[in-house]
């Protein structure tokens, strides 16, 4: 049985990935500082899978902690989710972002090298592309990250690429996620942002539940079909399955040292598409108003996810309807998230 270290495994995407890993027999060790997640997630994972992952509360920048984890557990591979992810915050606090996302990854990789664990799946992001020349965006598109957050992802991609050149034993997958939304279909796990959400789907859920009166739609003068910005929303369960596919691929005898893949649905949906779909499938009105564009937002982008299908054998299967229904199911069952 393969044992996987999942950094950031109590977070939104990490927790759903742990459930999927456990459901097919992997053993999971989570390392998470709980900077943006709650230990109660582990109980939910246990309720869903009947298995309890090990949770080590610790920071990826803490070398001693990492060495202890690798010494105590016979880890085969690592999925590295841990990091800070708020774009606007990264502009205000670049050093904190580079420290956590870049230094944290270097510390993790050094500990992995020492423990002779050289297989890693890394959470990259479509933000490395910045404003693309066109969509769908292939993996070969130029990097134009506009924020310290996006730059930190691009830097880690370079570090991991260099590592594969230096030592043929490394097997690295760089997965560039588009816009993860949705929740586990049971309604027991989902996205639990601290404070007022920045992202669209959690905010829509909170409008539907009455926590906010109105959704502000940032801009209706974009050059898109309905004037609102378009994104490639991907269900978190599809994303979780993308990690399983990447792990399976990396352990194949013919796997290259470096694999890079977009994880998206290959189609864009506008903000209004999300709002009207959510209202329709959940039979819940979403009052909204148009306000000015949000600074730094790109008008429209979506993935070319063909490579993931061709190399990893993975394709997103869940629809925008599924994403809206599962997000709302999580919200209604857990109006205050994991606490309460
Ligand atoms: P999340 O905040 O829910 O999960 C990240 C987890 O990492 C949290 O549980 C947090 O407590 C933990 N963490 C943060 N810093 C840590 C540290 N120094 N040491 C140990 N643990 C630490 O975020 P998420 O949405 O699940 O994102 C997971 C990864 O995917 C991140 O690397 C993020 O940048 C990347 N990503 C997310 C999105 C998105 O929109 N959600 C899009 C593209 C890429
Ligand atoms: N958005 C919005 N109102 C909100 C939150 C987001 O109109 O309260 C829009 C945002 O401008 C963008 C899209 O929804 O066009 C997706 O935003 P999100 O923050 O979820 O993801 P991003 O693509 O910015 O990473």
Would you say the CB of residue 135 lies under 6 angstroms from ligand 1? Answer: no
Residue 340 pLDDT > 80: no
Query: What pLDDT is recorded for position 1?
Result: 83
The alpha carbon of 8 and the centre of ligand 1 are apart by a number of angstroms equal to 6
**% of the chain surpassing 90 pLDDT:** 97
Would you say the CB of residue 61 lies under 6 angstroms from ligand 1? Answer: yes
Mean pLDDT of the chain: 97
Computed on alpha carbons and rounded to an integer, the radius of gyration of the chain in Å comes to: 19
Residue 339 pLDDT > 70: yes
Would you say the CB of residue 83 lies under 6 angstroms from ligand 1? Answer: yes
**% of the chain surpassing 70 pLDDT:** 100
Global pTM reads 0.98
Tokens standing for 97?
């972002």
Quick one: average pLDDT of 91-120? 98
Phi, psi of 45 (to 5 degrees): -60, -45
Residue 105 pLDDT > 90: yes
Strands (DSSP E) found in 191-310: 215-218, 230-231, 233-235, 258-263, 269-270, 288-291
- The confidence band for 70, taking pLDDT boundaries of 50, 70 and 90, is very high
Residue 233 pLDDT > 90: yes
Residues 212 and 227: their CA atoms lie apart, in Å, by 24
Atom 6 of ligand 2, residue of closest alpha carbon: 200
Atom 22 of ligand 1, residue of closest alpha carbon: 82
Quick one: average pLDDT of 275-284? 98
- The confidence band for 284, taking pLDDT boundaries of 50, 70 and 90, is very high
Are the beta carbons of 179 and 234 closer than 8 angstroms?
yes
């Amino acid at each position: 049985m393969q044992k996987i270290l999942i950094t950031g495994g109590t977070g939104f995407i990490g927790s759903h990935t742990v459930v999927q890993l456990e459901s097919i027999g992997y053993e999971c060790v989570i390392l998470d500082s709980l900077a943006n997640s709650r230990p109660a997630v582990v109980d939910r994972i246990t309720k869903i899978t009947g298995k309890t992952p090990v949770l080590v509360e610790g920071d990826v920048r803490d070398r001693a902690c990492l060495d202890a984890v690798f010494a105590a557990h016979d880890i085969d591979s690592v999925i590295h989710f841990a990091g800070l992810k708020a774009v606007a915050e990264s502009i205000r606090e670049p050093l904190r972002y580079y420290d956590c996302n870049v230094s944290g990854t270097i510390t993790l990789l050094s500990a992995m090298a020492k423990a002779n664990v050289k297989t890693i799946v890394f959470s990259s992001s479509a933000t490395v592309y910045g404003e693309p020349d066109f969509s769908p965006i292939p993996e070969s598109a130029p990097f134009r990250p506009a924020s310290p957050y996006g730059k930190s992802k691009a830097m880690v991609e370079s570090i991991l690429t260099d590592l594969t050149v230096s030592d043929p034993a490394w097997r690295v997958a760089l997965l560039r996620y588009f816009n993860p939304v949705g929740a586990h279909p049971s309604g027991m796990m989902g996205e639990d942002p601290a404070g007022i959400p920045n992202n669209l789907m959690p905010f829509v859920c909170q409008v539907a539940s009455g926590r906010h009166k109105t959704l502000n739609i940032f801009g209706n003068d974009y050059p898109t079909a309905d004037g609102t910005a378009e994104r490639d929303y991907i269900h978190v369960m599809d994303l979780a399955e993308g990690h399983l596919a990447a792990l399976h691929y990396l352990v194949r005898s013919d796997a290259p040292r470096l694999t890079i893949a977009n994880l998206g649905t290959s189609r864009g949906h506008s903000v209004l598409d999300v709002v009207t779909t959510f209202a329709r499938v959940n039979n819940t009105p979403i009052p909204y108003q148009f306000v000015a564009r949000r600074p730094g937002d790109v008008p429209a982008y979506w993935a070319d996810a063909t490579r993931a299908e061709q190399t990893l054998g993975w394709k997103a299967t869940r629809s925008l309807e599924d994403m809206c229904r599962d997000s709302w199911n999580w919200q209604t069952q857990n109006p205050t998230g994991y606490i309460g």
